[in-house]
Amino acid sequence: MGHHTCCNKQKVKRGLWSPEEDQKLIHHITTYGHGCWSSVPRLAGLERCGKSCRLRWINYLRPDLKRGSLSPEEATLIIELHSILGNRWAQIAKHLPGRTDNEVKNFWNSSNKKRLITHEVPALASLVAVHNSIPPEEAGNPNLIISDQRDQLYLSPSPSALHDADFKPNPSINDTVDLIHHHSPLTTMFPFLSNAASFDPSWPLPFVGDLDDHHQNKKYHVPNLRNEVLVQDIVSDKLVNPIAGVNPYECDPIMATQTVPQLCEVLVQGNYLCDMPQTSVSLDNIDPLVSRLPSCFPISAGSSYSHNMHLATNQMEFVDSDTIITSMPLSLSSSYSSSSSSLSALSGVGRTDSIF
DNA sequence: AAGCTGTCCAACCGCTTTAGT
DNA sequence: GACTAAAGCGGTTGGACAGCT
User: Straight-line distance from CA A15 to C1' C15, in Å?
Assistant: 9
Rounded (5°) CA angle A306-A311-A317: 125
Does nucleic acid strand B have an atom less than 7 angstroms from the CB of A5? no
Does nucleic acid strand B have an atom less than 7 angstroms from the CB of A241? no
Between CA A150 and CA A116 the distance in angstroms is 7
Pick the CATH number of A5-61 from 1.10.10.60, 3.40.1080.10, 3.30.1330.10, 3.40.50.880: 1.10.10.60
Nearest to A152, CA basis, from A191, A205, A105, A198: A205
- For residues A100 and A59, the answer to whether their CB atoms sit within 8 Å is yes
User: Straight-line distance from CA A17 to C1' C15, in Å?
Assistant: 13
A5-61 and A72-117: identical CATH topology:
yes
| 3-class DSSP state of A215 | helix
Does nucleic acid strand C have an atom less than 7 angstroms from the CB of A202? no
> Which residue is nearest nucleotide B6, judged by alpha carbon to C1' distance?
A110
Looking at residue A115, what is its pLDDT?
57
Q: What is the CATH number of domain A72-117?
A: 1.10.10.60
Looking at residue A75, what is its pLDDT?
83
Between CA A253 and CA A233 the distance in angstroms is 11
Does nucleic acid strand B have an atom less than 7 angstroms from the CB of A16? yes
- For residues A138 and A163, the answer to whether their CB atoms sit within 8 Å is no
Does nucleic acid strand C have an atom less than 7 angstroms from the CB of A102? yes
Q: What are the phi and psi torsion angles at A228 (to 5°)?
A: -110, 145
Which bases on strand B have an atom closer than 7 Å to a protein beta carbon? 7-17
**Closest nucleotide to the alpha carbon of A341, via C1':** C10
**Closest nucleotide to the alpha carbon of A60, via C1':** B10
**Closest nucleotide to the alpha carbon of A67, via C1':** B9
Name residues of chain A where pLDDT drops below 50.
1-5, 8-9, 117-356
Strands (E), A131-262: 144-147, 154-157, 210-211, 219-223, 228-232
Residues 6+ apart with CB under 8 A from A201: A76, A79, A80, A295, A296
Which bases on strand C have an atom closer than 7 Å to a protein beta carbon? 5-12, 15-16
Q: What is the Cα gyration radius of chain A? A: 23
Looking at residue A211, what is its pLDDT?
28
**Closest nucleotide to the alpha carbon of A55, via C1':** B11
Query: How is chain A split into domains, by residue range?
Result: 5-61, 72-117, 122-353
